[in-house]
Chain A
Amino acid sequence: MRKSGLVLVLVSFCPLAFGQLDSNSITVSASNNASLQPDQAIFSVSVQSGMSTGFDDVLSALQGSGITAANLSNVSGGFQQYLNVGGMPSLTWTFRLLVPLTNTKTSIASLNTLQQNIAKLNNGLMLSFIIEGTQVSQQLAQSQTCSLSALVTAATTQAQSLAAAGGVTLGSITALSGSSSTGVSDPYATSLSCAITVKFSVTRY
Protein backbone atom coordinates (compact mmCIF):
# COMPACT_ATOMS: atom_id res chain seq x y z
CA MET A 1 0.00 0.00 0.00
CA ARG A 2 2.77 2.38 0.98
CA LYS A 3 4.83 1.42 -2.11
CA SER A 4 1.91 1.95 -4.50
CA GLY A 5 1.33 5.36 -2.98
CA LEU A 6 4.95 6.26 -3.60
CA VAL A 7 4.70 5.23 -7.27
CA LEU A 8 1.65 7.43 -7.79
CA VAL A 9 3.32 10.40 -6.15
CA LEU A 10 6.40 10.08 -8.34
CA VAL A 11 4.40 9.73 -11.53
CA SER A 12 2.26 12.69 -10.65
CA PHE A 13 5.44 14.76 -10.57
CA CYS A 14 6.30 13.74 -14.15
CA PRO A 15 4.04 16.30 -15.83
CA LEU A 16 5.91 19.02 -13.98
CA ALA A 17 9.04 17.95 -15.83
CA PHE A 18 7.43 18.14 -19.27
CA GLY A 19 8.35 21.72 -19.90
CA GLN A 20 11.81 21.55 -18.36
CA LEU A 21 15.07 21.82 -20.28
CA ASP A 22 17.66 19.06 -20.40
CA SER A 23 20.61 19.57 -18.07
CA ASN A 24 23.88 20.69 -19.62
CA SER A 25 22.31 21.68 -22.90
CA ILE A 26 21.13 24.71 -24.83
CA THR A 27 18.23 24.32 -27.24
CA VAL A 28 17.69 27.03 -29.82
CA SER A 29 15.13 27.43 -32.60
CA ALA A 30 16.04 29.33 -35.76
CA SER A 31 13.69 30.33 -38.54
CA ASN A 32 13.43 32.52 -41.59
CA ASN A 33 10.62 33.69 -43.85
CA ALA A 34 11.01 34.26 -47.57
CA SER A 35 8.38 36.34 -49.37
CA LEU A 36 7.16 34.87 -52.63
CA GLN A 37 5.84 36.91 -55.53
CA PRO A 38 2.47 35.61 -56.80
CA ASP A 39 2.83 34.24 -60.32
CA GLN A 40 -0.73 33.03 -61.03
CA ALA A 41 -4.06 34.78 -61.55
CA ILE A 42 -7.16 33.08 -60.17
CA PHE A 43 -10.17 33.29 -62.48
CA SER A 44 -13.61 32.38 -61.21
CA VAL A 45 -15.69 31.34 -64.21
CA SER A 46 -19.44 30.92 -63.69
CA VAL A 47 -21.93 29.32 -66.03
CA GLN A 48 -25.60 29.89 -65.33
CA SER A 49 -27.88 27.18 -66.69
CA GLY A 50 -31.37 25.79 -66.43
CA MET A 51 -32.14 23.25 -63.72
CA SER A 52 -32.14 20.36 -66.19
CA THR A 53 -28.69 21.09 -67.60
CA GLY A 54 -26.14 18.40 -66.77
CA PHE A 55 -22.47 18.78 -65.89
CA ASP A 56 -21.44 17.29 -69.25
CA ASP A 57 -23.47 19.94 -71.11
CA VAL A 58 -21.71 22.69 -69.19
CA LEU A 59 -18.26 21.18 -69.75
CA SER A 60 -19.04 20.79 -73.43
CA ALA A 61 -19.89 24.49 -73.66
CA LEU A 62 -16.54 25.35 -72.04
CA GLN A 63 -14.46 23.31 -74.47
CA GLY A 64 -11.38 25.13 -75.61
CA SER A 65 -11.14 27.26 -72.47
CA GLY A 66 -8.89 24.81 -70.65
CA ILE A 67 -11.59 24.23 -68.04
CA THR A 68 -12.25 20.58 -67.13
CA ALA A 69 -14.25 18.76 -64.47
CA ALA A 70 -11.24 19.12 -62.18
CA ASN A 71 -11.75 22.91 -62.15
CA LEU A 72 -15.28 22.73 -60.69
CA SER A 73 -15.42 24.47 -57.35
CA ASN A 74 -19.15 24.78 -56.66
CA VAL A 75 -22.68 24.30 -57.93
CA SER A 76 -25.52 26.29 -56.45
CA GLY A 77 -28.93 27.57 -57.34
CA GLY A 78 -32.60 26.83 -57.00
CA PHE A 79 -35.65 28.73 -56.11
CA GLN A 80 -33.91 31.79 -54.78
CA GLN A 81 -32.92 32.59 -58.33
CA TYR A 82 -36.51 32.64 -59.64
CA LEU A 83 -36.35 36.39 -59.56
CA ASN A 84 -32.91 36.59 -61.18
CA VAL A 85 -33.21 34.90 -64.55
CA GLY A 86 -36.45 35.76 -66.25
CA GLY A 87 -38.49 34.11 -63.52
CA MET A 88 -36.90 30.71 -64.13
CA PRO A 89 -34.95 28.66 -61.59
CA SER A 90 -31.30 28.24 -62.46
CA LEU A 91 -28.05 26.60 -61.48
CA THR A 92 -24.71 28.35 -61.23
CA TRP A 93 -21.67 26.20 -61.98
CA THR A 94 -18.49 27.82 -60.70
CA PHE A 95 -15.04 26.85 -61.90
CA ARG A 96 -11.63 27.96 -60.66
CA LEU A 97 -9.06 28.53 -63.38
CA LEU A 98 -5.41 29.22 -62.62
CA VAL A 99 -3.51 31.13 -65.27
CA PRO A 100 0.10 32.38 -65.30
CA LEU A 101 0.10 36.10 -64.55
CA THR A 102 1.84 36.69 -67.85
CA ASN A 103 -1.13 35.13 -69.70
CA THR A 104 -3.85 37.12 -67.93
CA LYS A 105 -4.62 39.35 -70.90
CA THR A 106 -4.83 36.40 -73.32
CA SER A 107 -7.08 34.49 -70.93
CA ILE A 108 -9.45 37.44 -70.56
CA ALA A 109 -9.68 37.72 -74.35
CA SER A 110 -10.37 33.96 -74.68
CA LEU A 111 -13.06 34.03 -72.01
CA ASN A 112 -14.66 37.10 -73.59
CA THR A 113 -14.84 35.26 -76.92
CA LEU A 114 -16.27 32.16 -75.25
CA GLN A 115 -18.83 34.31 -73.43
CA GLN A 116 -20.01 35.78 -76.74
CA ASN A 117 -20.08 32.39 -78.49
CA ILE A 118 -22.18 30.86 -75.71
CA ALA A 119 -24.57 33.82 -75.79
CA LYS A 120 -25.00 33.40 -79.57
CA LEU A 121 -26.01 29.75 -79.13
CA ASN A 122 -28.98 30.94 -77.07
CA ASN A 123 -29.17 27.55 -75.36
CA GLY A 124 -29.95 28.84 -71.88
CA LEU A 125 -26.32 29.03 -70.78
CA MET A 126 -24.70 32.26 -69.68
CA LEU A 127 -21.00 32.66 -68.89
CA SER A 128 -19.46 35.28 -66.64
CA PHE A 129 -16.06 35.53 -65.03
CA ILE A 130 -14.07 37.55 -62.55
CA ILE A 131 -10.43 37.61 -61.47
CA GLU A 132 -10.51 36.68 -57.80
CA GLY A 133 -6.89 37.48 -57.11
CA THR A 134 -3.39 36.11 -57.40
CA GLN A 135 -1.49 33.31 -55.77
CA VAL A 136 1.88 31.60 -55.67
CA SER A 137 1.91 28.53 -57.92
CA GLN A 138 2.69 25.14 -56.50
CA GLN A 139 5.70 24.92 -58.82
CA LEU A 140 7.15 28.19 -57.53
CA ALA A 141 6.50 27.28 -53.89
CA GLN A 142 8.16 23.89 -54.31
CA SER A 143 11.16 25.33 -56.11
CA GLN A 144 12.02 27.45 -53.05
CA THR A 145 14.46 25.71 -50.75
CA CYS A 146 15.52 26.69 -47.28
CA SER A 147 19.19 27.17 -46.53
CA LEU A 148 19.59 24.71 -43.69
CA SER A 149 23.26 25.58 -43.22
CA ALA A 150 22.26 29.25 -42.74
CA LEU A 151 19.71 28.19 -40.12
CA VAL A 152 22.29 26.02 -38.32
CA THR A 153 24.71 28.94 -38.35
CA ALA A 154 22.03 31.27 -36.97
CA ALA A 155 21.17 28.75 -34.25
CA THR A 156 24.83 28.32 -33.34
CA THR A 157 25.36 32.09 -33.07
CA GLN A 158 22.30 32.41 -30.87
CA ALA A 159 23.40 29.47 -28.69
CA GLN A 160 26.91 30.93 -28.31
CA SER A 161 25.41 34.17 -27.16
CA LEU A 162 23.21 32.37 -24.63
CA ALA A 163 26.13 30.24 -23.42
CA ALA A 164 28.30 33.29 -22.89
CA ALA A 165 25.52 35.02 -20.99
CA GLY A 166 25.06 31.93 -18.85
CA GLY A 167 28.76 31.51 -18.13
CA VAL A 168 29.06 28.16 -19.88
CA THR A 169 30.91 26.92 -22.96
CA LEU A 170 28.97 25.78 -25.97
CA GLY A 171 29.74 22.22 -27.05
CA SER A 172 28.70 20.19 -30.05
CA ILE A 173 25.29 19.67 -31.61
CA THR A 174 23.56 16.74 -29.93
CA ALA A 175 20.13 16.81 -31.56
CA LEU A 176 18.24 18.42 -34.41
CA SER A 177 14.64 18.77 -35.49
CA GLY A 178 12.99 20.16 -38.58
CA SER A 179 10.13 19.57 -40.95
CA SER A 180 9.33 18.68 -44.52
CA SER A 181 6.08 19.37 -46.38
CA THR A 182 4.84 18.49 -49.84
CA GLY A 183 1.72 19.84 -51.52
CA VAL A 184 0.03 23.14 -50.94
CA SER A 185 -2.05 23.26 -47.80
CA ASP A 186 -2.58 27.00 -48.16
CA PRO A 187 -2.65 28.02 -51.84
CA TYR A 188 -2.89 31.69 -50.90
CA ALA A 189 0.32 31.69 -48.84
CA THR A 190 2.83 34.21 -50.13
CA SER A 191 5.72 33.36 -47.88
CA LEU A 192 7.86 30.33 -47.22
CA SER A 193 8.74 29.59 -43.61
CA CYS A 194 11.66 27.41 -42.56
CA ALA A 195 12.45 26.47 -38.98
CA ILE A 196 14.79 24.13 -37.17
CA THR A 197 15.56 23.40 -33.54
CA VAL A 198 19.11 22.60 -32.50
CA LYS A 199 20.28 21.22 -29.17
CA PHE A 200 23.88 21.81 -28.09
CA SER A 201 25.80 20.32 -25.21
CA VAL A 202 27.39 22.76 -22.75
CA THR A 203 30.23 22.52 -20.31
CA ARG A 204 30.76 24.71 -17.29
CA TYR A 205 33.90 26.79 -16.91
Chain B
Amino acid sequence: MWKLLLSILLLVTAPAFGQLESHTVSISASRSINLQPDQVLFGLSVSSSVTANLDQVVGALSGLGITSASLNNTFYPTPTTLSWNFSFTAPLSSLTTTIKSITQLEQTIAQNNVGLTLTFTVEGTQVSQQLRQAQSCSNSDLIADATSQGQKLAAAAGLTLGPIIKLTNAPTIEGAGIVPNLAVGQYVVNGAYSVGAVFSNILVVTLASPVTCSLVVEFQLLP
Protein backbone atom coordinates (compact mmCIF):
# COMPACT_ATOMS: atom_id res chain seq x y z
CA MET B 1 0.00 0.00 0.00
CA TRP B 2 2.77 2.40 0.95
CA LYS B 3 4.53 1.69 -2.34
CA LEU B 4 1.38 2.65 -4.23
CA LEU B 5 1.10 5.85 -2.20
CA LEU B 6 4.75 6.66 -2.86
CA SER B 7 4.30 6.10 -6.60
CA ILE B 8 1.28 8.40 -6.73
CA LEU B 9 3.07 11.11 -4.80
CA LEU B 10 6.13 10.92 -7.03
CA LEU B 11 3.99 11.02 -10.17
CA VAL B 12 2.17 14.08 -8.87
CA THR B 13 5.40 15.90 -8.07
CA ALA B 14 7.16 14.95 -11.32
CA PRO B 15 5.54 17.67 -13.50
CA ALA B 16 6.81 20.29 -11.10
CA PHE B 17 10.43 19.47 -11.87
CA GLY B 18 10.40 22.01 -14.72
CA GLN B 19 12.63 19.79 -16.85
CA LEU B 20 12.12 19.02 -20.50
CA GLU B 21 10.62 15.56 -20.71
CA SER B 22 12.40 13.38 -23.24
CA HIS B 23 10.65 12.81 -26.59
CA THR B 24 8.47 15.90 -26.18
CA VAL B 25 8.05 19.34 -27.70
CA SER B 26 6.76 21.91 -25.22
CA ILE B 27 5.29 25.15 -26.57
CA SER B 28 4.07 28.06 -24.48
CA ALA B 29 1.43 29.85 -26.56
CA SER B 30 0.06 33.26 -25.61
CA ARG B 31 -2.35 35.81 -27.05
CA SER B 32 -2.80 39.42 -25.94
CA ILE B 33 -5.91 41.55 -26.36
CA ASN B 34 -6.10 45.28 -25.69
CA LEU B 35 -9.29 46.42 -23.98
CA GLN B 36 -10.98 49.79 -24.37
CA PRO B 37 -11.80 51.64 -21.15
CA ASP B 38 -15.51 51.55 -20.39
CA GLN B 39 -15.61 53.17 -16.94
CA VAL B 40 -14.88 56.61 -15.54
CA LEU B 41 -13.36 57.00 -12.11
CA PHE B 42 -14.65 59.94 -10.07
CA GLY B 43 -13.00 61.48 -7.04
CA LEU B 44 -15.25 63.26 -4.55
CA SER B 45 -13.95 65.49 -1.81
CA VAL B 46 -16.13 66.73 1.03
CA SER B 47 -14.82 69.49 3.21
CA SER B 48 -16.34 69.64 6.70
CA SER B 49 -15.69 70.95 10.18
CA VAL B 50 -13.51 68.72 12.36
CA THR B 51 -16.55 67.69 14.41
CA ALA B 52 -18.35 66.03 11.47
CA ASN B 53 -18.41 62.23 11.38
CA LEU B 54 -18.40 59.71 8.53
CA ASP B 55 -22.14 58.94 8.82
CA GLN B 56 -23.01 62.61 8.35
CA VAL B 57 -20.75 62.94 5.30
CA VAL B 58 -21.92 59.68 3.70
CA GLY B 59 -25.52 60.67 4.42
CA ALA B 60 -25.03 63.88 2.45
CA LEU B 61 -23.74 61.83 -0.51
CA SER B 62 -26.37 59.10 -0.39
CA GLY B 63 -27.95 60.29 -3.65
CA LEU B 64 -24.83 59.16 -5.49
CA GLY B 65 -24.75 55.70 -3.99
CA ILE B 66 -21.63 56.52 -1.98
CA THR B 67 -21.10 54.37 1.10
CA SER B 68 -18.46 54.41 3.81
CA ALA B 69 -16.65 51.71 1.79
CA SER B 70 -15.98 54.32 -0.91
CA LEU B 71 -13.85 56.41 1.47
CA ASN B 72 -10.22 56.65 0.34
CA ASN B 73 -8.75 58.87 3.03
CA THR B 74 -9.31 61.83 5.29
CA PHE B 75 -6.94 64.62 6.20
CA TYR B 76 -6.81 68.05 7.81
CA PRO B 77 -6.04 70.72 5.20
CA THR B 78 -6.38 73.35 7.96
CA PRO B 79 -6.66 72.94 11.73
CA THR B 80 -10.41 73.60 11.56
CA THR B 81 -11.27 71.66 8.41
CA LEU B 82 -11.50 67.96 7.68
CA SER B 83 -11.38 66.68 4.11
CA TRP B 84 -13.08 63.34 3.25
CA ASN B 85 -12.04 61.80 -0.07
CA PHE B 86 -14.15 59.19 -1.84
CA SER B 87 -13.96 57.49 -5.22
CA PHE B 88 -16.53 55.68 -7.32
CA THR B 89 -16.94 54.53 -10.89
CA ALA B 90 -19.64 55.08 -13.51
CA PRO B 91 -20.05 53.73 -17.03
CA LEU B 92 -18.36 55.91 -19.65
CA SER B 93 -21.71 56.13 -21.43
CA SER B 94 -23.20 57.76 -18.28
CA LEU B 95 -20.45 60.34 -17.83
CA THR B 96 -22.59 63.39 -18.60
CA THR B 97 -25.53 62.15 -16.48
CA THR B 98 -23.26 61.38 -13.55
CA ILE B 99 -21.59 64.79 -13.72
CA LYS B 100 -25.05 66.37 -13.76
CA SER B 101 -26.06 64.41 -10.65
CA ILE B 102 -22.89 65.38 -8.79
CA THR B 103 -23.25 69.03 -9.81
CA GLN B 104 -26.84 69.06 -8.54
CA LEU B 105 -25.77 67.48 -5.26
CA GLU B 106 -22.92 69.99 -5.00
CA GLN B 107 -25.47 72.80 -5.23
CA THR B 108 -27.94 71.13 -2.83
CA ILE B 109 -25.24 70.66 -0.21
CA ALA B 110 -24.19 74.29 -0.58
CA GLN B 111 -27.80 75.49 -0.29
CA ASN B 112 -28.49 73.35 2.79
CA ASN B 113 -25.68 75.22 4.51
CA VAL B 114 -24.79 72.28 6.76
CA GLY B 115 -21.13 73.14 6.83
CA LEU B 116 -20.18 70.75 4.05
CA THR B 117 -18.61 71.60 0.70
CA LEU B 118 -18.50 69.06 -2.12
CA THR B 119 -16.00 69.14 -4.96
CA PHE B 120 -15.24 66.47 -7.54
CA THR B 121 -12.81 65.44 -10.23
CA VAL B 122 -13.00 63.05 -13.14
CA GLU B 123 -9.87 61.08 -12.32
CA GLY B 124 -9.64 59.05 -15.50
CA THR B 125 -10.90 56.00 -17.30
CA GLN B 126 -10.41 52.32 -16.67
CA VAL B 127 -11.46 48.91 -17.92
CA SER B 128 -14.24 47.46 -15.76
CA GLN B 129 -13.88 44.12 -14.03
CA GLN B 130 -16.96 42.92 -15.94
CA LEU B 131 -15.38 43.70 -19.32
CA ARG B 132 -12.13 42.01 -18.32
CA GLN B 133 -13.97 38.93 -17.09
CA ALA B 134 -16.04 38.83 -20.28
CA GLN B 135 -12.88 38.31 -22.31
CA SER B 136 -12.68 34.59 -22.65
CA CYS B 137 -9.48 32.98 -23.78
CA SER B 138 -9.93 30.71 -26.78
CA ASN B 139 -8.07 27.53 -25.89
CA SER B 140 -8.59 26.19 -29.42
CA ASP B 141 -6.80 29.26 -30.84
CA LEU B 142 -3.94 28.83 -28.36
CA ILE B 143 -3.65 25.13 -29.22
CA ALA B 144 -3.66 25.97 -32.94
CA ASP B 145 -0.86 28.53 -32.35
CA ALA B 146 1.13 26.00 -30.32
CA THR B 147 0.65 23.27 -32.92
CA SER B 148 1.81 25.53 -35.73
CA GLN B 149 4.90 26.63 -33.78
CA GLY B 150 5.59 23.08 -32.61
CA GLN B 151 5.53 21.80 -36.20
CA LYS B 152 8.00 24.50 -37.29
CA LEU B 153 10.30 23.82 -34.33
CA ALA B 154 10.27 20.04 -34.83
CA ALA B 155 10.90 20.46 -38.57
CA ALA B 156 13.83 22.82 -37.84
CA ALA B 157 15.36 20.00 -35.79
CA GLY B 158 14.67 17.44 -38.54
CA LEU B 159 11.99 15.72 -36.47
CA THR B 160 8.21 15.33 -36.53
CA LEU B 161 5.58 16.68 -34.17
CA GLY B 162 3.40 14.01 -32.62
CA PRO B 163 0.07 14.21 -30.78
CA ILE B 164 -0.63 16.41 -27.73
CA ILE B 165 0.24 14.62 -24.52
CA LYS B 166 -0.25 17.37 -21.95
CA LEU B 167 -1.92 20.77 -21.58
CA THR B 168 -1.12 23.22 -18.79
CA ASN B 169 -3.19 26.31 -18.22
CA ALA B 170 -1.33 29.46 -17.28
CA PRO B 171 -2.92 32.31 -15.29
CA THR B 172 -4.37 35.18 -17.33
CA ILE B 173 -2.22 38.29 -16.97
CA GLU B 174 -3.92 41.66 -16.84
CA GLY B 175 -1.86 44.77 -17.50
CA ALA B 176 -2.33 47.72 -15.19
CA GLY B 177 -1.09 51.24 -14.84
CA ILE B 178 -0.97 53.70 -12.02
CA VAL B 179 -2.62 57.02 -12.69
CA PRO B 180 -1.27 59.44 -10.14
CA ASN B 181 -4.13 61.52 -8.80
CA LEU B 182 -2.33 64.31 -7.08
CA ALA B 183 -3.98 67.69 -6.93
CA VAL B 184 -2.45 70.18 -4.57
CA GLY B 185 -3.37 73.82 -4.60
CA GLN B 186 -5.91 76.40 -3.65
CA TYR B 187 -9.38 76.37 -5.10
CA VAL B 188 -12.42 78.55 -4.75
CA VAL B 189 -15.45 76.34 -5.10
CA ASN B 190 -19.04 77.41 -4.42
CA GLY B 191 -17.83 80.40 -2.55
CA ALA B 192 -15.94 78.21 -0.07
CA TYR B 193 -12.20 78.15 0.29
CA SER B 194 -10.25 74.95 0.57
CA VAL B 195 -6.52 74.33 0.51
CA GLY B 196 -4.45 71.36 -0.49
CA ALA B 197 -6.80 68.71 -1.80
CA VAL B 198 -4.66 65.60 -2.05
CA PHE B 199 -5.85 62.31 -3.47
CA SER B 200 -4.01 59.08 -3.01
CA ASN B 201 -2.76 57.03 -5.94
CA ILE B 202 -5.42 54.75 -7.31
CA LEU B 203 -4.76 51.65 -9.38
CA VAL B 204 -6.32 52.29 -12.74
CA VAL B 205 -6.21 50.01 -15.74
CA THR B 206 -5.62 52.41 -18.61
CA LEU B 207 -5.89 51.97 -22.38
CA ALA B 208 -2.65 50.07 -22.60
CA SER B 209 -4.10 47.24 -20.57
CA PRO B 210 -3.66 44.03 -22.47
CA VAL B 211 -5.13 40.82 -21.18
CA THR B 212 -2.76 37.96 -21.97
CA CYS B 213 -3.95 34.35 -22.13
CA SER B 214 -1.38 31.55 -22.10
CA LEU B 215 -1.35 27.81 -22.48
CA VAL B 216 1.55 25.36 -22.39
CA VAL B 217 1.08 22.48 -24.81
CA GLU B 218 3.30 19.43 -24.71
CA PHE B 219 3.48 17.24 -27.82
CA GLN B 220 5.12 13.92 -28.42
CA LEU B 221 8.34 14.25 -30.45
CA LEU B 222 8.60 11.68 -33.21
CA PRO B 223 11.76 10.76 -35.12
Asked if A74 contacts B153 (CB within 8 A), the reply is no
Picked from B6, B20, B210, the residue with its CB within 8 Å of the CB of A7 is B6
Asked if A180 contacts B30 (CB within 8 A), the reply is yes
Total A-B pairs, Cβ < 8 A = 184
Quick check: is A123 within 8 A (CB to CB) of the other chain? no
* Contact partners of A187 in chain B: CB under 8 A: 208
Contact size class for B?
35 or more
Interface residues in B1-35 by Cβ distance below 8 A to A read: 1-2, 5-6, 9-10, 13, 16-34
Closest to B223 in A: A172
Contact size class for A?
35 or more
Quick check: is B72 within 8 A (CB to CB) of the other chain? no
* Contact partners of A201 in chain B: CB under 8 A: 22
Q: Which of A31-39, A79-87, A101-109 binds B?
A: A79-87
Quick check: is A149 within 8 A (CB to CB) of the other chain? yes
> Separation in Å of the B1 CB from the closest CB of chain A?
8
Interface residues in B86-104 by Cβ distance below 8 A to A read: 92-93, 95-96, 99-100, 103
Quick check: is A144 within 8 A (CB to CB) of the other chain? no
* C-alpha gap A6/B145 in the complex (Å): 45
Picked from B37, B93, B159, B175, the residue with its CB within 8 Å of the CB of A173 is B159
> Separation in Å of the A187 CB from the closest CB of chain B?
7
Q: Which of B57-65, B76-84, B180-188 binds A?
A: B180-188
* C-alpha gap A147/B206 in the complex (Å): 35
* C-alpha gap A25/B23 in the complex (Å): 12
Picked from A52, A72, A82, the residue with its CB within 8 Å of the CB of B96 is A52
Asked if A75 contacts B20 (CB within 8 A), the reply is no
* Contact partners of A79 in chain B: CB under 8 A: 119-121, 187, 189
Asked if A183 contacts B152 (CB within 8 A), the reply is no
* Contact partners of A198 in chain B: CB under 8 A: 157
Interface residues in A1-50 by Cβ distance below 8 A to B read: 3-4, 6-7, 10-11, 14-15, 17-22, 25, 27
Looking at B29, B99, B154, B185, the one whose CB has the most chain A CB atoms below 10 A away is B99
Asked if B25 contacts A176 (CB within 8 A), the reply is yes
* C-alpha gap A53/B97 in the complex (Å): 10
Nearest 5 CB-CB pairings of A with B: A78-B121, A183-B32, A148-B156, A180-B149, A177-B26
Quick check: is A66 within 8 A (CB to CB) of the other chain? no
